[in-house]
Amino acid sequence: MKKLLITLGASVFVLGACGGEEGGGEEAGGDESEENMFLTVATGGTSGVYYPIGGALSNLYESELGTDSSVQSTGASVENINLLEEDRAELAITMSDAVSQAYEGTGPFEEEEPKEGLRGMASLYPNFVQVVTTEDTGIESMEDLEGMDVGVGAPNSGVELNAQMVLEAHGMSYDDINEDFLSYSEAIDQMQNNMIDAAFVTSGLPNSTVIDLSTQDDVTIVPIEGDALSQLQEDYEFFGEGTIEADVYETEEDVQTATIMNVMLVNESLNEDDVYELTETMFNNIDTIHDAHNAAQNIDLDSVTDGMPVPLHPGAKRYYEEQDALDE
């Protein structure tokens, strides 16, 4: 079994040379000759899609490369970007909108210097912006959210960023709703207990928390379509469009909505050979990643640059060039 050497400097988690207990802490200024490095994969909440995919990838690197690895549950996109920048993670799954804003220094990152060191490893699969409610609320359109209690995602999460953009495209803002900053599981739990009326759930399909809701109530997914969708795409180039088919959540009909690509970022500090090996291992064992979640089945060499808003890491780029996976 090959042993992956991750030479990360400040981001390296080094195991104690004498078998002590320092292995869980961060080592500032790691020694490049150390062989026992810890690979952290930053994901999202345990009820989302990022977590099982990140867990499968972490397990894959341990089994195939013999490196110590861990999947970390986080507040998702914005937090994951900051973890990479602070050298507290080596890989991170994020939404491309948050990455684009961090790279350019806009949105929630406008008070910071642009994070121009962000590097991509692969585009993964599309997230669907799911504005979820139940038939009992009578909510059928975005405009019907006015005056309602709405979960908009955890503070500064990718979901919350999407909520603000989608409301804006409909001529609305938080002034028009009673916003509640809740994770997927918190929002669905509160909806089941009649404490909120609707929630933004931006994730791959299906989302397990929405499935849970559908076992108790008849679910309605509010469409994002027409002029509002066109405006959203005009204002933000990272938005696409897609359809949530009726059989996903047993809704009455297919629903059109906005989509955003998820991407895997890699710490800029990793050297080219290491990232090449991480990328190669992932795609040589892609069936393992596909098995982690239905959404992961869309991860493919043919779409590794779709919606990627930052440059590829040289190691990933070299692998894709060898596979003829990059557009000319």
User: What pLDDT does 3 receive?
Assistant: 47
Candidates 3.40.140.10, 3.40.190.10, 3.40.50.300, 3.30.300.30; CATH matching 127-260: 3.40.190.10
> CATH 3.40.190.10 in the chain, residues?
9-124+263-322, 127-260
Q: Characterize 192-231 residue by residue with b for buried, 16 or more Cβ atoms within 10 angstroms of its Cβ, and e for exposed.
A: beeebbbbbbbbbbbbbbbeebbeeeebbbbbbeeebbeb
Residue 112, class by beta-carbon neighbours within 10 Å (0-12 exposed, 13-18 middle, 19+ buried)? exposed
User: What pLDDT does 37 receive?
Assistant: 62
User: What pLDDT does 236 receive?
Assistant: 87
Rounded CA separation 266/306 (Å)? 16
User: What pLDDT does 11 receive?
Assistant: 39
Radius of gyration of the chain (CA): 20
Amino acid at 318: R
Rounded CA separation 223/279 (Å)? 36
Rounded CA separation 68/79 (Å)? 22
User: What pLDDT does 328 receive?
Assistant: 56
User: What pLDDT does 161 receive?
Assistant: 87
Of the candidates 260, 129, 137, the one whose C-alpha atom is nearest the C-alpha of residue 198 is 137
Q: What is the dihedral of CA 153, 250, 128, 305, to 10 degrees?
A: 140
Rounded CA separation 50/125 (Å)? 11
Along the 328 residues of the chain, how does pLDDT read in single tens digits? 444 544 443 333 332 333 333 223 333 333 343 345 689 999 988 888 899 999 999 999 999 999 999 999 998 888 999 999 999 999 999 999 999 999 999 888 889 999 999 999 999 999 999 999 999 999 999 999 999 999 999 887 878 989 999 999 999 999 999 999 998 789 999 999 999 999 999 988 989 899 999 999 999 999 999 999 999 999 888 899 999 999 999 999 999 999 999 999 999 999 999 999 999 999 999 999 999 999 999 999 999 999 899 999 999 999 999 999 997 5
Beta strand 178-180 pairing with 149-151:
parallel
Q: Tell the CATH superfamily of the 9-124+263-322 domain.
A: Periplasmic binding protein-like II (3.40.190.10)
- For 283, the token pair is 């795609």
User: What pLDDT does 158 receive?
Assistant: 79
